Amino acid sequence: MSNQDALIEIRDVCKLFTDDGDEKQAVDHISLTIRRHEFVTLLGPSGCGKTTTLRMIAGFETPTSGAIYIDGKDVSAVPPYKRKVNTVFQRYALFPHLNVADNIAFGLTVKKLPKDVIAQKVDAMLRMVGLQGYNKRKVTSLSGGEQQRVAIARALVNEPEVLLLDEPLGALDLKKRKEMQIELKNMQQKLGITFVYVTHDQEEALTMSDTVVVMRGGTIQQVGTPQDIYNEPRNRFVADFIGESNIIDGIMPEDERVVIGDVSLDCVDKGFAPNEPVDVVIRPEDIYIVTQSDKGQFKGTVESVVFKGVHYEMQVRDTAGFLWLIQDTSMFAEGMEVGLIVRPEDIHIMRKSDDPNAAVYREEEAL
């Protein structure tokens, strides 16, 4: 754990909120190491504890148990205003009585830097976020995207070691969002600041991060590079949350072989107990459709076709009754008899026992 590069270490942290006698375990025994200059994204559905984790790093909440180390020092007793961390809040929290320049200059004024230095830094920052000339504008007169940039500038101008961003692009439309994703990533690389980024948008997480942390119900489900997370989801929840997937029950009779229903397939996974029940994950874009249904590993009928721009999305019901989601650039008409083929390396096998929440999903699916 004690890695030279480690900037933030979260060690076995829990956060229990007690509110009017109700108890809520917002964060449940999480441990995580964040390296210097890393872009880490906390990803998960609403209410999974992302904001709470971020607020504990910033110092706005104290862990109920466990400890957080920044630069090797336990920060439990360090108040937010003494941490080398700055935050971009979910709804910006710009100071409405100050203009754009004064908002950005706030942190520098607190540090009592000379006026001309502050003015210079503010101008440089405004240029960087593409708002030159906005100095005297009222923040209440700005659009959502502009406020967003001011909030980022206000935090970045302090040159913090760590920047915490809580769904900073949540208020933007899709196009603006994509632009800002690229800009943020560029800024992070240029300035060499460690980013801890919160989002519930899996695509955003995959495109921007060095490391993705998938969370659920206050726990960490998987930590890895975007490729790892996408290609080797550790359990059913991660597979389901990261992009669309076909998740089917299977059995591993031996290494590199999986049986789904009465179909036996080659795969590349090994190390399972003989005849161990497993979850099999296959991405919709990894399934090939052939018109001669006999040539496929599975046989089925196309039930629906939806045009999605780049590809068509089709649902195919196989002879065993499973409904496959398939993406393909060519269209296969509704009612057509087709065959499905999957390559061994596109089959991902997950141990059911790897999944601490297995019982929970079963319940959710039953609903």
Partner 1 sequence: MRRNHKALHLISRLYMVAVLVFLYAPILVMMVLSFNEGKSRGNFTGFSLKWYGELFQNAEIMQALSNTLIIAVISSLVATVVGTFAAYGISQMNRRSQGLVMNISYLPVINPDIVTGVSLMLLFIFMRMNLGFATMLISHIVFNIPYVILSVMPRIKQMDRHLLEAAMDLGLPPLRAFLKVVLPDIMPGVISGMIMAFTLSIDDFVISFFTTSGVQNLSIYIYSSARRGIEPTVYAIMTLMFVTVVSLLLLINRKSLGRTVAKRTRI
Q: Residue length, the chain?
A: 367
Interface pick for ligand ATP out of 7, 8, 13, 26 (rule CB under 6 A): 26
Determine the Cα–Cα distance for residues 138 and 140; give it in Å rounded to an integer.
5
Closer residue to Mg ion in complex, CB, 51/235: 51
Query: Both ends of the chain: CA-CA distance in Å?
Result: 41
Q: How far is the CB of 233 from ligand ATP (least distance, A)?
A: 19
Please tell me the count of residues contacting ligand ATP according to CB under 6 A. 13
Q: Is 51 in the site for ligand ATP (CB under 6 A)?
A: yes
Q: Is 87 in the site for Mg ion (CB under 5 A)?
A: no
Contact 29/15 with Cβ under 8 angstroms?
no
289 strand-pairing partners: 340
Closer residue to Mg ion in complex, CB, 51/86: 51
Of 40-48, 188-196, 281-289, 328-336, which segment contacts ligand ATP by CB under 6 A?
Answer: 40-48
C-alpha of 299 from chain center: 35
Interface pick for partner 1 out of 25, 64, 135, 158 (rule CB under 8 A): 158
Contact 57/213 with Cβ under 8 angstroms?
no
Contact 250/279 with Cβ under 8 angstroms?
yes
Q: How far is the CB of 126 from partner 1 (least distance, A)?
A: 17
Q: Is 200 in the site for ligand ATP (CB under 6 A)?
A: yes
Please tell me the count of residues contacting partner 1 according to CB under 8 A. 28
Determine the Cα–Cα distance for residues 53 and 63; give it in Å rounded to an integer.
9
Contact flags string 331-350 toward partner 1, x per CB under 8 A? --------------------
Rg (CA), the chain: 24
- Of 301, 297, 296, give the one whose Cα is nearest residue 332: 301
Closer residue to partner 1 in complex, CB, 91/127: 91
Q: Is 53 in the site for Mg ion (CB under 5 A)?
A: no
Name the binder of 216 from ligand ATP, partner 1, Mg ion, none, CB < 5-8 A by kind: none
Closer residue to partner 1 in complex, CB, 96/335: 96
To the nearest 10°, report the CA torsion of 313, 248, 286, 341: -100
Q: How far is the CB of 167 from partner 1 (least distance, A)?
A: 13
Residue recorded with tokens 């090939």? 288
162 strand-pairing partners: 85, 194
The contact set with ligand ATP (CB under 6 A) reads 17, 19, 24, 26, 44, 46-52, 200
